Structure 1
Amino acid sequence: MSPKAKPEGVWADQPFKLLDTPGKDKPLSNPVIYVASHMALVHNTFIRALNSIYLHAPLIATSNKILSRDLLSYCQCWVALVALHHQTEEKFLFSAFEERIPGAKGVLAVNVQQHEEFHDGLAAFEKYVDSALAGKESYDSERLLKLIDGFSEPLMTHFNDEISTLMRLEETGQGKDVMKVHEEFEVIVRKDIDGSKVGPMTLLNADKTYEGGKHPFPVMPKFVPYLIKYLVSRKYAGAWKFGSCDYWGQPVTLFMNTLEGKKALAVA
């Protein structure tokens, strides 16, 4: 899709910086470039969603029970998406690359180690979000942002470094096998997802216009966005107002910048 005008006001490309893909200026016909670019696009989905959380959180008062609960639900869905991704990487992707790609042994070890560097901070964030949603703690935007600050630096480092690591697989000359492992990884991820959390979270933060719209991410049948919008998204319906894109991958004005959002945020 061709680029659209940037949505009104501050958007979800900040404060955490989006990743350039290896395919930005290189052909996606190269299997390794395609796989590494796909991973960068996945990471950017996580980053846009986290940016949306970071931008909206301080604008929501503790007394605003409806919006604070919706944002906490959005946080919970974001954790579910990130956890699924990293668990599947550890269970399958990294080991499959190392075992089945000659010359890849040890290449991805640093990325597994990096998971540990943000694990505790992310767990603390999840624990607070779950506790607040259960009514055991009150919504506190300062605490929420502090918890994000506690894991964001190692998480962003990991997101960036993993792309460089995957590009090293090009040195093996086994592009076809790299693509095969990647395709199997995608099947496993789709099989293990909690669709009500992960499906909308993915679509509502996947910008199909990114880098000129050259990337086919996420790849799915045309009916799936309709299914997710009108059926799957119902369970956590209040959360999705914070997404940065629509269900078809087009960037939208963030809730905080809309007239509806400004009115809702003004509620004490």
Structure 2
Amino acid sequence: MVSKKNMPPASDSSEPLPALSPSDFRTYNRMSEQMEAFHSHFRLTWNQLWEACNSTGKRPGGLSARQMIMMGLQFCSQLDFHHSIEEQHIFPVLAKKMPEFRKELELLSQHKQIHAGLEKLEKYLGDCRSGEEDMRREEVKRLMEGFGEVLWTHLDQEVQTLRAENMRKFWSLEEMRRLPM
């Protein structure tokens, strides 16, 4: 028998949901906290690259051209890998109950926009690494500007969507314990 405590409330209910115990809150908020940790890393790296693009001096932002190229390529690779895991393993499970994670809706559409920008940045930085292009910080900045707004919106929106108050509308406590991530 399933206890009422483990049953998710109807998602279309306009009544406020009862308060969660600290333990239940942690269970419902787990995915949001884990996603925030990943996203904080991406924000930090983005900000370091951005600062290096906007700084002046011998080593803008404390990064040599080679360090900036390698950091940028690593950023592109890690974000691509992160999104691949989400799209293949996490979003399909969440999409069973949460419309935000269904194909062609906002979060997945944002991934496509971000990847279009990542591909351009990665190609440019790869060409710089191989010597086919000279590394120009203003070009890195221009490429980052091409997808920065959608990236930052996405990083915030995805974490917000996974917060306890939203997750509990769709999932029971037992289901939350079994969700991937």
TM over 0.5: yes
Aligned length: 151
SS in 2 for 1:171: coil
Q: Distance in 1 between matches of 2:41 and 2:112?
A: 21
Q: 1:75–1:31: structure 2 CA closer, same or farther, 3 Å change rule?
A: same
Mapped pair 1:87 → 2:84? yes
Letter of the 1:80 partner, please give it.
Answer: S
CA contact (8 A) 1:31 1:176 kept: no
Q: Which has the higher contact order (CA 8 A, sep 6+)?
A: 2
CA contact (8 A) 1:61 1:68 kept: no
Q: Distance in 2 between matches of 1:119 and 1:96?
A: 22
Q: 1:165–1:129: structure 2 CA closer, same or farther, 3 Å change rule?
A: same
Pairwise CA RMSD: 2.2
Aligned residue in 2 for 1:157: 153
Q: 1:150–1:84: structure 2 CA closer, same or farther, 3 Å change rule?
A: same
Q: Distance in 2 between matches of 1:137 and 1:129?
A: 8
Q: Which runs of 5+ in 2 are unaligned?
A: 1-20
CA contact (8 A) 1:94 1:108 kept: yes
CA contact (8 A) 2:89 2:180 kept: no
TM-score calculated relative to the size of structure 1:
0.52
CA contact (8 A) 1:124 1:147 kept: yes
SS in 2 for 1:139: coil
- Cα deviation, residue 116, structure 1: 1.5
Aligned residues with identical type, % of pairs: 21
Q: 1:112–1:162: structure 2 CA closer, same or farther, 3 Å change rule?
A: same
Larger CA Rg, structure 1 vs 2 = 2
CA contact (8 A) 2:36 2:159 kept: yes
Q: Which runs of 5+ in 1 are unaligned?
A: 1-25, 184-268
Q: 1:149–1:179: structure 2 CA closer, same or farther, 3 Å change rule?
A: farther
Q: Distance in 1 between matches of 2:125 and 2:65?
A: 11
TM-score calculated relative to the size of structure 2:
0.74
- Cα deviation, residue 61, structure 1: 6.0
Q: Distance in 2 between matches of 1:117 and 1:175?
A: 34
Q: Which has the higher helix share?
A: 2
